[in-house]
Amino acid sequence: MQQTNVLEYLEQTAPQVPDKVAYSDGTDDMTFRQVYEDARSIGTFLSRRGLYREPVVVFMTRHPRMIVSFYGVVYAGCYYVPIDEEMPKHRVALIFQNLKPRAVVCDEKTKAMLGEFSYEGDAFLYEEMTGTPAEEERLRDIRRKALDVDPLYIVFTSGSTGVPKGVVACHRSVIDYIENLSDVLEFNRDTVFGNQTPLYFDACLKELYPTLKFGATAYLIPKNLFMFPVKLVEYLNQYKINTICWVVSALTMISAFKAFDKVKPEYLHTVAFGSEVFPIKQFNIWRETLPDAKFTNLYGPTEGTGMCCYYKVDRDFALDETIPIGGPFRNTEILLLDEHDQPAKPGEPGEICIRGTSVTLGYYHNPEKTQEAFVQNPLNDAYPEIIYRTGDLARLNERGELCFLSRKDYQIKHMGHRIELGEIEVVANMMDGIQTACCIFDDDKKKIVLYYVGEASPAETVKYLKDKLPRYMIPNAVEVLDAMPLTPNSKIDRVFLKQKYQNKKA
């Protein structure tokens, strides 16, 4: 029978490996049996309180219990909204305003924080819920009425206006993603994941559900360790972690500080990365350190359920190249549309638009923003068909691989030329004295500004860029930073840099 609910992963696996550790943070372990029993207790508890087909916030410290709470919410026939204690308070308050939830699952620490969000609904502690014996009949009844197009979770992404948007994803999209991702990255029962991403983003789907599907194990690596490269690699070795799906900045932190001179990952054989362009210089350090490991570049917006494109690195790259994002997962199509909504010509840039089951349901309580990005496929005037417009630009290379260019908003007009700021960044990242670079455009003064971290002087940098780039692409200002500011998502915070430049001018 075709799978229609993510919990079927858990129900099939738990009886096979009941005593194996499913999730651990290195201190607290939870076996598959515990996950199964606790999730069903939580589901029963929430359902008895009349919660059904509505968002339930899971506001907890990153811990295996947080993951089990997600599944508990799903057992109740509801959808989970993960929020982490480290999320900025202002952001949490906005999310509560958008959701108006009736129930929040929390721990002792976060329960005390709830008062700050003028929230008046119920707050349930994990331990309080898991004492409830599972009611088989109730849970079966909920499941019988559930559809695979019902929401599974809502995660919030930052909106350009500063108001977060809640992306609603359904079971079917997540199952589709997990099946195809698992095929590509070849997960199995021996997979040991080292999770880096916070649990409040869709990025953690990569570890959470394949763990259930295969009976694998996932370690939630303490955030703290991502400051201490040698300790981080030692942690990977201690727990025999063999598979990581991390943001690029977490990987470059290890390579840039030369941690591999001191200690090498002993078990790691699968490295997936995404969300950002991997500077080739740093990437080569990884490949030299782990010559037998498989490296896969992943690309995808939250609105397309996790990742939607992948590229398995199968050749060397010159310093001035970028690693392609390859092509879509099975059962997903990428349309590259030009400014007239026509398919871009081969080699020409177009906006990445996603078609298929991976397209999420839209933004929660936000019809306006939903209609802007989730639109009728302009190539189909025969019947309703929604595609998601990512706002990202890509082109096909000679090999037929998709190559990410930049955000649509990073494409600028300067001195009559159309410029991809990302292209300047790639060249700057090639330079020896530069660890990481970011380019912004000041729309008022029409200036290109390059920020970078590294020992190179601005003068050397400009000289280097002049050798490699046409005159009109040379930044008008070059500034050194001690460190690159990052968003909560670990992407370079371009908005912050832009403001920094504009404040400086003022």
Partner 1 sequence: MEALLDILKELHPEVDFETCDTLIDDKILDSFDIISIITSINSEYDVSIPAEEIVPENFNSAEALYDLIERLQDED
> Interface residues with partner 1 (CB under 8 A)?
224, 226-231, 253, 257-259, 261-262, 453, 455, 482-486
Quote the least distance from Cβ 218 to partner 1, whole Å.
Answer: 22
CA angle 501, 502, 506 (to 5 degrees): 120
Q: Which residues pair with 334 in a beta bridge?
A: 354
CA angle 302, 501, 473 (to 5 degrees): 80
Q: Which is nearer to partner 1, 194 or 304 (CB)?
A: 194
Q: Which is nearer to partner 1, 227 or 506 (CB)?
A: 227
Q: Which is nearer to partner 1, 190 or 288 (CB)?
A: 288
Quote the least distance from Cβ 436 to partner 1, whole Å.
Answer: 10
Quote the least distance from Cβ 234 to partner 1, whole Å.
Answer: 10
Quote the least distance from Cβ 256 to partner 1, whole Å.
Answer: 9
Q: How far is CA 433 from CA 255, 256, 460, 476, in A?
A: 14, 11, 9, 20
Q: Which is nearer to partner 1, 293 or 481 (CB)?
A: 481
Quote the least distance from Cβ 253 to partner 1, whole Å.
Answer: 7
Q: Which is nearer to partner 1, 229 or 274 (CB)?
A: 229
Q: For the chain, what is the radius of gyration of the CA atoms?
A: 23
Buried b (16+ CB within 10 A) or exposed e, 143-163: beebebebbbbbbbeeeeeee
Q: Which is nearer to partner 1, 229 or 422 (CB)?
A: 229
Q: H-type helices in 321-361, by residue range?
A: none
> H or E segment at 334?
strand 332-337
Quote the least distance from Cβ 258 to partner 1, whole Å.
Answer: 5
Q: How many CA atoms lie within 13 A of 259 on its CB side?
A: 24
Q: Which is nearer to partner 1, 214 or 496 (CB)?
A: 496
Q: Which two tokens stand for residue 477?
A: 């200002």
- 281 burial level (CB within 10 Å; 0-12, 13-18, 19+): middle
Quote the least distance from Cβ 152 to partner 1, whole Å.
Answer: 31
Residue 154 CA to residue 136 CA, distance in Å, equals: 27
Residue 468 CA to residue 19 CA, distance in Å, equals: 58
